[in-house]
Amino acid sequence: MTTAFPPSSLTLQTILGERLLTPVYQPIVNLAEHAIYGHESLIRGPAQTACQMPDVLFAMARAEGCLNELEFAAANTGIAGYRAAGGRAKLFINLSATFLVDHYVRHGDSHLDQLFERADMPLGDLVIELTEHDQVHHVDALPRMVESLRAQGVQIALDDFGDGRSSLRLWSELRPEIVKIDRYFSREIDTHAAKVQTFKAMLHLAETFGTRLVAEGIETAEELEIIRDLGIVYAQGYLLGRPHAEATRAIAEPAREVLANRDIVVYPALRKVAHTHFSAEKLVIDAPAISPKMPNDELVRIFHDRADLQALAVVAPDGKPLGLINRRDFIDRYTHPYHKELFGKRACTAFMDPSPILVDKHQTFEQLTSILVSGDQRYLSSGFIITEAGRYLGLGTGEQLVKAVTEVRIEAARHANPLTFLPGNIPISEHIARLLTARVSFTACYCDLNHFKPYNDQYGYWRGDEMIRLAAGVISANCDARRDFVGHVGGDDFVVLFQSADWDSRCAQIITTFNEHALTMFDEAALKAGGIEAEDRHGNPSFFPLTTLTIGAVRIAPDSYSRPEDVASAAALAKRSAKHGGGGLWVLDGGKAVQLPLCVRMADAEA
Q: What is the pLDDT of residue 419?
A: 82
CB atoms within 10 A of CB 594: 13
pLDDT(136) > 70: no
Q: What is the pLDDT of residue 50?
A: 82
* Nearest-angstrom CA–CA distance, 310 and 320: 20
* Nearest-angstrom CA–CA distance, 398 and 405: 10
Answer for the pair 15, 21: CB distance below 8 angstroms, yes or no. yes
Architecture of domain 425-606: 2-Layer Sandwich (3.30)
Q: What is the pLDDT of residue 243?
A: 97
pLDDT(274) > 50: no
Out of 216-220, 353-357, 602-606, pick the least confident.
602-606
Q: What is the mean pLDDT of residues 18-31?
A: 96
Q: Which of 266-270, 333-337, 404-408, 556-560 has the highest mean pLDDT?
A: 556-560
Are domains 7-260 and 425-606 of this chain identical in fold? no
- Amino acid identity at 389: A
Torsion of CA 68, 69, 70, 71, to 10 degrees: 50
pLDDT above 90 coverage of the chain, percent: 60
Segment 508-533, tens digit of pLDDT: 999 999 999 999 999 999 999 999 99
Angstrom distances, CA of residue 38 to CA of 74, 235, 281, 549 = 18, 10, 45, 53
Q: Write the DSSP symbol of residue 439.
A: T
pLDDT(410) > 80: no
Bridge-based pairing state of the strands 311-315 and 321-326: antiparallel
Which of 139, 70, 69 has its CA nearest to residue 105?
A: 139
* Nearest-angstrom CA–CA distance, 550 and 581: 10
Q: Write the DSSP symbol of residue 487.
A: E
Decide which of 78 and 110 is more confident: 78
Out of 26-40, 164-178, 201-215, 345-359, pick the least confident.
164-178
pLDDT(473) > 60: yes
Decide which of 402 and 468 is more confident: 468
Answer for the pair 67, 61: CB distance below 8 angstroms, yes or no. yes
- Residue 228: enclosing H or E segment and its boundaries? helix 221-230
Which residue pairs from 226-229 have beta carbons closer than 8 angstroms and sit at least 24 positions apart in sequence?
226/189, 226/190, 226/196, 226/265, 226/267, 227/31, 227/186, 227/189, 227/199, 228/31, 228/258, 228/259, 228/265, 229/264, 229/265, 229/267, 229/434
Q: What is the mean pLDDT of residues 131-152?
A: 78
- 540-574 exposure pattern, b = at least 16 Cβ within 10 A, e = fewer: eeeebebbbbbbbbbbbeeeebeebeebbebbbbb
471: left (phi over 0), alpha (psi -120 to 50) or beta: alpha
When pLDDT is cut at 50, 70 and 90, the band that residue 273 belongs to is very low
Q: What is the pLDDT of residue 526?
A: 95
pLDDT(415) > 70: no
Segment 225-243, tens digit of pLDDT: 999 999 999 999 999 999 9
Termini Cα distance of the chain: 60
Answer for the pair 422, 472: CB distance below 8 angstroms, yes or no. yes
pLDDT(1) > 90: no
Q: What does the DSSP assignment read for 186-205?
A: HTTGGG-HHHHHHHHHHHHH
pLDDT(305) > 50: yes
Please classify residue 11 by burial: count the beta carbons closer than 10 Å to its beta carbon, then call 0-12 exposed, 13-18 middle and 19+ buried.
Answer: middle
* Nearest-angstrom CA–CA distance, 57 and 48: 14
CATH of domain 7-260: 3.20.20.450
Q: What does the DSSP assignment read for 354-391?
A: SS--EEETT-BHHHHHHHHHSS--HHHHT-EEEEETTE
* Nearest-angstrom CA–CA distance, 509 and 480: 13
Q: What is the mean pLDDT of residues 315-327?
A: 95
Phi–psi pair at 50, nearest 5 degrees: -65, -15
pLDDT(605) > 90: no
CATH class for domain 280-409?
A: alpha beta
Decide which of 308 and 447 is more confident: 447
Q: Write the DSSP symbol of residue 135.
A: S
- Which 3 state secondary structure label does DSSP give 443? strand
Phi–psi pair at 310, nearest 5 degrees: -95, -5
Sign of CA pseudo-dihedral 516, 521, 527, 530: negative
Bridge-based pairing state of the strands 155-161 and 126-131: parallel
Q: What is the mean pLDDT of residues 559-579?
A: 95
pLDDT(543) > 50: yes
Q: What is the pLDDT of residue 139?
A: 67
* Nearest-angstrom CA–CA distance, 329 and 476: 56
Average pLDDT, the chain: 88
Domain ranges of the chain: 7-260, 280-409, 425-606
Bridge-based pairing state of the strands 234-235 and 212-215: parallel
Segment 166-225, tens digit of pLDDT: 578 889 889 999 999 999 999 999 999 999 999 999 999 999 999 999 999 999 999 999
* H helical segments located in 245-397: 253-260, 296-305, 327-334, 339-343, 365-373, 378-381
Q: What is the mean pLDDT of residues 278-305?
A: 90
- Which 3 state secondary structure label does DSSP give 521? helix
- Residue 442: enclosing H or E segment and its boundaries? strand 442-450
Q: What is the pLDDT of residue 279?
A: 83
Q: Cα 561 from chain centroid?
A: 29
When pLDDT is cut at 50, 70 and 90, the band that residue 271 belongs to is low
Answer for the pair 213, 179: CB distance below 8 angstroms, yes or no. yes
Q: What is the pLDDT of residue 604?
A: 41
